[in-house]
Every structure is written in structure tokens, then in C-alpha cells.
A = this chain, B = another copy of it.
């Protein structure tokens, strides 16, 4: 790890920041020296997670919120987590649309992140990208996820303040959905609030909030916005700020930070263990052979895993004998 690269990141040099994010995207193991140094320089930014169903207008909301922060003279980082990309470049499409409005502004850094192949690591990489932007001095960092998947919910939970975006009258099984994602929302937004059904949705949300299992005393606010007309954005920013202030004063936020830390450690551990196992000589070829055998039912996946794990422990035994 070369100090001047770290220095450039910390000074907020956007090309160094972009390169650092590519590094964590490509590999967790190789970036860990860099990330150790980055980690101690984080904690200054306000990280806002924005999550909700497809079609809720999250992107417009993120763009308008970013513009609001920019008017206050703050630097804004945006990480858009887009799991659909491996199939057809959805993230790139999203980026292009945004290029037209925000990306000419030097005070805004936008990055879309997508899954790459089988090894996962999207959650880990996106959390690390946030840390890089934090160390690089961005005042506000907005993480946008399509909020219904397991990983996506985990990513949203790592933010300081998690905003859940809903729209009026989303359909009949929305009741179940709301109950699920509402409890991760520190702030709820009803976007497209000029549509029919907004009052009903608001009442439903209020009813659900009274049933909510939150362990703290926070009164989750419901903010109505019409993102494409820039309505309600200042109110949203205010609610986000209040949630952050509340958390500073409450002991429950310690538990929350610990849960996030536990999740990050486990996610990183998982990735590094797999990388180590597949890093053993010949392991990738073995994986391909085992996958073919499992696909044709010549072998079950459980004994395939046993074979990979055995190769790993033999390898580490050989290495420890050489060392001693």
C-alpha cells in the first residue's frame, strides 16, 4: 500500500476514490490493507440509506436530495446498488440518465455497483465504497438499494439513517411488505404523493407503526414527497437530520452499530474463507469438475463441498509443515 494513493483518497481526489472503489469491487482480500487504513478515517459523514420497491421513484428522490445537500454547500457521494446489472447493465443505464443532471457537478460522486459472478461480495463492496467516500470527506453519502432482497436490506441497515420509500396504493400484498421493511425505516416516505390513495396509505402506515417492534422511542416520521416536482425534499432532509440527532442520544444505537459490525465481520469472513479455499492450487479446476458432476447427478453437492474443504485443509497442513 502506497501512502500517496491513500493521501489522494483522503484529499478527495475523485480519480483516486474511483480507483479505490474498483479495488474493493474486484477483490476483498487484496483491498484489505487499504481498507484498514481507510477505516480509521471514517465516521464523519452522514450515511443515508434509501430503499424501497422498484417503481417507487427512489432514483429521482436520491437525485433531488443530493441537489438539496449541494445547495447547502455539502459534498455528496451516491452509491446505487443494482443487483440486476449482471444480466444487462442496468446500473450503467442508471448512471447515464444521472450524468445529465448531477454528474457535471464536481461536488457529487456517483457510482453504481452490481454483482459480479458467483462469489457475491456486493454487500461488502458497497459498504466499503461508503467508507472510502467517508474518508474522502464527502459530507453526505446516499446509498440507494432496491429494498426487498436479503442482502439489500442488510446494506440499508448499515446506514446511519434508513429511509424507506413507498408509493400510494401499491397493490394487495403490500401490507406484508410494509410490515417487513417498515421496521428498518427510520424515516418513511410516501413518494408520488400527488397520486390517488395517499391518505389511505398514510393511515395504513400509521396503523402499522403502532404495531411496530422498534426497541427505541423514536417516532418514525412519514414524509410525503413528489420527487420529480422537487416537493417535500427539505422536509425529508429535516427528518433525516432529526433521526440522526435522536440516535446520538439513545443507547439503542449502540446495539444497532454492534449488529452492523457483526454483520460486516461475518460477511467479510465468508468471502475471505471462500477466496482462501478457492485459492488453493487447482481448486478452480476442481470446482468446475465438481459442478459438472453435480449437474449430471453423478455426485451430490455435499460431498463436493467436503472435497473442496479437504483440499483446503491438506494445503494448509502442507504449508504449516514447511513453515515449521
Q: Which of B85, B152, B176, B304 sits near A149, CB closer than 8 Å?
A: B152
9 contacts between A and B (CB under 8 A): A39-B297, A53-B53, A54-B177, A84-B181, A149-B151, A261-B292, A265-B301, A269-B309, A273-B273
Instruction: Indicate whether A87 sits within 8 Å of B183 (C-beta atoms), given known contacts A54-B177, A150-B151, A262-B118.
Output: yes
Besides A88-B212, A270-B270, 5 new A-B residue pairs in contact (Cβ under 8 A), listed by A number? A35-B302, A54-B170, A55-B172, A120-B270, A262-B291
Q: Are A88 and B300 in contact (CB under 8 A)?
A: no
- Which residue of the partner chain B has the closest CB to A89? B179
Instruction: Indicate whether A180 sits within 8 Å of B300 (C-beta atoms), given known contacts A173-B59, A273-B309.
Output: no
Q: Are B261 and A291 in contact (CB under 8 A)?
A: yes
Within 8 A of B (CB), among A235-282: 254, 257-266, 268-270, 272-274, 276-277
Spot the interface stretch: A14-22, A101-109, A198-206, A313-321. Answer: A313-321
Q: Which of B32, B120, B269, B287 sits near A265, CB closer than 8 Å?
A: B287
Q: Are A257 and B174 in contact (CB under 8 A)?
A: no
Q: Which of B87, B118, B300 sits near A266, CB closer than 8 Å?
A: B118
Cα distance A287–B212 when bound, in Å?
Answer: 29
Q: How many copies does the complex hold?
A: 2
Residues of chain A at interface, number, CB under 8 A: 96
- Which residue of the partner chain B has the closest CB to A81? B150
Residues on B with C-beta less than 8 A from A297 are: 39-40, 42-43
Residues on B with C-beta less than 8 A from A300 are: 35-36, 39-40
Q: Are B90 and A261 in contact (CB under 8 A)?
A: no
Instruction: Indicate whether A269 sits within 8 Å of B148 (C-beta atoms), given known contacts A84-B176, A264-B301.
Output: no
User: 1/0 contact trace for A116-153 toward B, CB 8 Å?
Assistant: 00111010000000000000000000000010111111
Q: Are A83 and B273 in contact (CB under 8 A)?
A: no
The answer to whether A94 has its CB under 8 Å from any CB of chain B is: yes
Q: Are B148 and A150 in contact (CB under 8 A)?
A: no
Shortest distance in angstroms between A147's beta carbon and chain B's nearest beta carbon?
A: 8
Q: Are B57 and A258 in contact (CB under 8 A)?
A: no
